[in-house]
Structure 1
Amino acid sequence: MSTKPPSLTERRKAATQLDIARAAAELFTERGPDDTTAEEIALRAGVALRTFYRYFRSKQDAVAPLLAGGADRWRERLAAGPGAALPDALERSIAASLTPADAEAAEGLRWTRGLLRAAERDPALRAVWYRVNQESEDRLRVVVAELAGPDADPLEVRLAAAAATDAIRIALETWAETDAPAEGAGGPAALAVRCLRELMGGMRLLGPDVREPGTAP
């Protein structure tokens, strides 16, 4: 799948949005969304308030780029990965994406955990989280369709994209409720793989040996 590289203007815009998102995440983690204003986020990010509102509609909306960043990198990894059966490709890419390979990845998981904990008490922040996941699922369907091939059942493709997205979402939410480390049996990677296997257990995309109910072996 080929995509046009972002322009310099687009990269600068994305960098500014991410700076604002990190500032919002810091303040939400420190104080909670209720005790944080858009003005304070803009000040922490080093931008004018008008710049904040150029990119975001609300203070909760400001963390969307931070929450979406991991999903964007995961889809890129999945699309660029070596050829493999779709379930294996999904599982391997999910496990790799949710296992912190460096300090930046570990920081991203810490931010996600803090934001999900804050979202428990803030419906608007939860709405941003759900929207980010829905948008990720919509984009993932395109990747899954290409990996599955032209003969794949569109319903199965849609189910696979939904299963993978929900596996990651549920794993991160479950992990955020605990103090488990980012790696190991209680970490998001292990939880997401477990969720994915449960959710995809009945799909024909698992391989040619999976038959319709009632068919002879």
Structure 2
Amino acid sequence: MTASSGRTGRPPLTEARKAEIRLEIARAAVELFVAQGVAATTGEQIGQAVGVSARTVWRYFPSKESCVRPLFSAGIDVIAARLPDWRPGHALEDLFDPELATGLLAATGPDGATGSALVRLTRTEPGLRAIWLQTYDEAEPAFARALADRAGLPADDLRPMIQAAMLNAALRAAVERFAWRGGEAGTDAGEGTDAVMGEVDVAGALRSALVIVAEGVS
């Protein structure tokens, strides 16, 4: 009898499991960055928090700062998926209700305080800032495609491209303002008073920003 020539060892990871590992690493990195700072955090510490080696961390991410990217992009993906539901005749800000905010928080993982602390770190940590801005930059074409499809226009039409840029900038500005003010609900569009950080406040900040976008540049 001849020995079997079949492969032995661990079966290959599925794409779903790889995504789970990336998110687990991202959440661990956020907790460490917020607790002790980016400079003091090592790949070994991130790996230990997840139960994997530092080598595994670097297999998924090129740098420790880039570990948080899944948390930045997950929320944007939720918004992009919601855009096709924006029907003609409905205000753009109506997309951002508590239900959507729940989806955003569920996608990113950290609680509101930790997530906002991470965004605040992008103000002082150049590496995190670069990942934050790059994530939004890469989201813009997805927004443009969704808006073009909604209007029945070509994907490279100037109007959805400009609308996507405005939407993208408004979302980022709203999240940054909300985080940097410690979770205080925005009042620029006359919408709110000081509130506890939570789902309704996130939705309120986004809605306030989009009210301003809808008004356009006079």
Query: TM-score band (shorter)?
Result: 0.7 to 0.9
Gaps of 5+ in 2: 1-12, 195-200
Q: Which of these two proteins has the greater Rg computed from alpha carbons?
A: 2
- Alignment map for 1:14-29 (pairs within 5 Å): 14-29=19-34
Q: Could you tell me which of 157, 175, 180 is aligned with 1:177?
A: 180
After superposition, what is the alpha-carbon deviation per residue over 1:74-100, rounded to whole angstroms, capped at 9, x for unaligned? Answer: 211223x2x612873x42223456633
Given the alignment, which residue of 177, 180, 190 partners 2:204? 190
Report what 1:122 is aligned to.
125
2:75 counterpart of 1:73:
no
Most deviating of 102-111 and 36-45 = 102-111
Match of 1:94 in 2: 96
DSSP 3-state at the match of 1:99: helix
1:51 and 2:56 aligned: yes
Tell me the equivalent position of 1:42. Answer: 47
Normalised TM-score (structure 1) = 0.77
Q: Partner letter of residue 49 of structure 1? A: A
Partner of 1:33: helix, strand, or coil?
Answer: coil
* 2:66 alignment counterpart: 61
Distance in 1 (alpha carbons) for counterparts of 2:60 and 2:103:
30
Structure 2 distance, partners of 1:111, 1:76, is 24
1:136 — aligned with what?
Answer: 139
CA contact (8 A) 1:137 1:165 kept: yes
Q: Tell me, yes or no, if the aligned pair for 2:148 and 2:154 is still in contact at 8 Å.
A: no
> Do the aligned partners of 1:91 and 1:196 also contact (CA within 8 Å) in 2?
yes
> 1:163–1:200: 8 Å Cα contact kept in structure 2?
no
- CA positional deviation for 1:182: 6.9
Aligned letter for 1:198?
I
**Structure 1 residue 131, shift from structure 2 partner:** 0.6
- How big is the shift at 1:181? 5.5
The alpha-carbon distance between structure 1 residues 182 and 48, as it changes in their structure 2 partners (threshold 3 A), is farther
Distance in 2 (alpha carbons) for counterparts of 1:42 and 1:86 = 49
Q: CA RMSD in A?
A: 3.0
Q: 1:137 to 1:103 in 2, by over 3 A?
A: closer
Aligned sequence identity (%):
34
Aligned length in residues: 194
SS in 1 for 2:96: helix
TM-score normalised per structure 2 = 0.77
Cα distance, 1:159 vs. partner? 1.3
Tell me if structure 2 keeps the 8 A contact 1:21–1:66.
yes
